[in-house]
């Protein structure tokens, strides 16, 4: 049995109440193959944008500390709903906010950097075989305030947890099949890229594609964490999607494949 896997579900994968039941099925399937399953979720659909708009209706220039206190709430909705959906399927799961998870950040509200992860509360749950669900995009500053990691920051939460827990890989579930050479929502002929090196992935992201939070890829590169971007609806076929690894590991026979 493999050891630890991190599953990350973005806003599009948790856009409706029904989505949580589908995610539960994915979690149950992965639990058959991994001893420890940790799930990181983003806010549902457009929730973060709505919270930002709400703040601006009250104050066009909100205090940054209070802004983070508000916009971190979206992920908290998702973690609790996922724990409820898993409970309905008789899977023991516990949800944690970023601060409960021990994600310690700088105090740059709105763009905080993770400086440490102390998953003390997670370890006993995992040891008891429970699924752990973590709110993405947020942490707690060294001053004890709630911080957020910048838009799309849940990806970085997932990789930071992979490093802290010694996970083998992070799977990112999206509403597309993987990473393409062009935006598949704009160009139907865009080509799916089966493998990418960290440098190639970073290049695509820095050119403007919002496929993954840039910091998550550099953190994975530094710590040799395997990243796998795959489709929310096609999760059973784990050979599909895009695998991101170092150039050296991609040259290994296992990764020398190409999709037509």
Question: Which residues make up the interface to Mg ion (CB under 5 A)?
Answer: 11, 42-43, 48
Q: Which of 148, 142, 143 is nearest to 51 (CA)?
A: 148
Measured from the CB of residue 11, what is the shortest distance to ligand ASP in angstroms?
5
| Residue 76 touching ligand ASP (CB under 6 A) | no
List the single partner that 101 binds among ligand ASP, Mg ion, none, CB under 5 to 8 Å by kind: none
Residues 10-69 binding ligand ASP (CB under 6 A) are 10-11, 42-43, 48
Cα–Cα distance between 26 and 74 in angstroms, integer? 22
Distances (CA, A) of 191 to 14, 154, 166, 210: 26, 26, 32, 16
In 3D space, the residue among 221, 227, 256 whose CA is nearest the CA of residue 241 turns out to be: 227
Residue 196 engages ligand ASP in binding (rule: CB under 6 A):
no
Which residue among 136, 139, 178, 241 contacts ligand ASP (CB under 6 A)? 136
Q: In this complex, which beta carbon is closest to ligand ASP, that of residue 130 or of residue 174?
A: 174
d(CA 191, CA 183): 9
Which CB sits closer to ligand ASP, 10 or 98? 10
Nearer to ligand ASP (CB atom), residue 79 or residue 250:
79
| Closest residue to bound Mg ion by CB | 11
User: Pick from ligand ASP, Mg ion, none: which does 136 bind, CB < 5 to 8 A by kind?
Assistant: ligand ASP
Which residue lies nearer to ligand ASP by CB, 119 or 152?
A: 152
Residue 174 beta carbon to ligand ASP: minimum distance, rounded to whole angstroms: 11
The partner in contact with residue 241, picked from Mg ion, ligand ASP, none with C-beta cut-offs of 5 to 8 angstroms by kind, is none
Q: Which residues make up the interface to ligand ASP (CB under 6 A)?
A: 10-11, 42-43, 48, 74, 136-137, 151-154
């Amino acid at each position: 049995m493999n050891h630890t896997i991190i599953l990350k579900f973005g806003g599009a994968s948790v856009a409706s109440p029904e989505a949580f039941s589908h995610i539960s099925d994915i979690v149950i399937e992965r639990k058959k193959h991994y001893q420890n399953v940790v799930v990181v979720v983003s806010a549902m659909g457009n929730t973060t944008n709505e919270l930002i708009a709400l703040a601006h209706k009250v104050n066009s220039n909100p205090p940054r500390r209070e802004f983070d206190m508000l916009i971190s709430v979206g992920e908290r909705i998702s973690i609790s709903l996922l724990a409820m959906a898993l409970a309905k399927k008789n899977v023991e799961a516990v949800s944690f906010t970023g601060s409960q998870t021990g994600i310690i950040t700088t105090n740059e509200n709105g763009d905080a950097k993770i400086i440490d992860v102390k998953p003390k509360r997670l370890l006993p749950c995992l040891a008891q075989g429970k699924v752990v669900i973590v709110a993405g995009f947020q942490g707690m500053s060294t001053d004890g305030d709630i911080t957020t990691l910048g838009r799309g920051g849940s990806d970085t939460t997932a990789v930071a947890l992979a490093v802290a827990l010694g996970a083998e890989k992070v799977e990112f579930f999206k509403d597309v099949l993987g990473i393409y050479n062009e935006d598949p929502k704009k160009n139907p002929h865009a080509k799916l890229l089966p493998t990418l090196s960290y440098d190639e992935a970073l290049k695509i992201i820095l050119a403007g594609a919002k496929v993954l939070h840039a910091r998550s890829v550099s953190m994975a590169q530094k710590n040799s964490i395997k990243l796998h971007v795959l489709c929310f609806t096609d999760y059973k076929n784990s050979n599909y999607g895009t695998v991101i690894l170092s150039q050296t590991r991609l040259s290994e026979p296992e990764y020398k494949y190409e999709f037509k």
